[in-house]
Amino acid sequence: MLSPVTICALASYALLSGATPTGFWFSFGDSYTQTQFNYTLAQPSDSNPLGNPDLPGSTACGSVPNWVYWDVMKYNSSERFAFNFAWGGATINASIVPPPSPEILSVIEQIDEFQAGYVGDSPLNNIAWTGDNTLFSTFIGINDIGGSYQSASNQSTINSQLMDSYFNEMERLYGYGGRNFLFLNVPPTDRSPLIMTVSAEDQAKYKAAVQDYNSQLAARVAGLVAAHTDVQAWVVDTNSVVAQLLDNPTQFGFQDATSFGDGDTFIWCNNYHISPAAHEYVARAVQSSLSGTGLI
């Protein structure tokens, strides 16, 4: 079923810890998700449910938690092994919007790695993942917008092309056996310290691009569910969660909406990425969306 988007970021959630893994999580995305997992190295285990590198992984803010860590280690209802293929700087399809550097793996290439490691007769595919016990998540679009909004003559057309490629890959995951799909939409990076330094015209273009992208994403997710009666899908409204923090920073223990740095009083850890403390609110929204499903 298609769950309503998740806006709640205020509730507190119980922490439970299991001794035996009850499920698996394959994640794809960009720097907002990356922990720098290498699927050819140490695999997720009881001692490190993210596999490698050492916990909490290497994120856009340094060796500090992001939403994936929080959901695996704190907001989990059971032990779940996470295989996080996300790359900082990633786009959906490098032929539509190139990443900042050619070595960065797009979502297409991240799913290639998943296929190489965990589909069919791969030597690493010795885990008991099934469509029922496994979550597939994708959090992508920030770099696609950042790399196209200034030059695009019609951003909505580019976003539509991106969605075509995005959901071709979701169909690919469905073909491999994926049945539970989590999507996070693009946060309000138009309000990031970086984008606040560009012209008012470009800020408006960026914001409009985000709104259009998120609208198209919601429609495509609904289409995925309509096409496959055995698919469950959830959209977490990351945009609303982070906007809530930016609109009311002191209410949530942050000093303001624009400063960035280390520590729990900053919403931003640098000029384009939310902090570990802000990521925790995203993780709570994910937990709220998946509560009762057995997938977190």
pLDDT at 153: 84
pLDDT at 21: 64
Predicted model pTM = 0.91
Domains contained in the chain, CATH given: 2-290 (3.40.50.1110)
pLDDT at 124: 79
pLDDT at 10: 31
pLDDT in tens, the chain (296 residues): 343 333 333 332 233 333 446 799 999 999 999 999 999 999 999 999 999 999 999 999 999 999 999 999 999 988 899 999 999 999 999 999 999 999 999 999 999 999 999 998 887 778 889 999 999 999 999 999 999 998 878 999 999 999 999 999 999 999 999 999 999 999 999 999 999 999 999 999 999 999 999 999 999 999 999 999 999 999 999 999 999 999 999 999 999 999 999 999 999 999 999 999 999 999 999 999 999 999 98
pLDDT at 18: 39
* Torsional sign, CA 257, 260, 262, 267: positive
d(CA 170, CA 222): 13
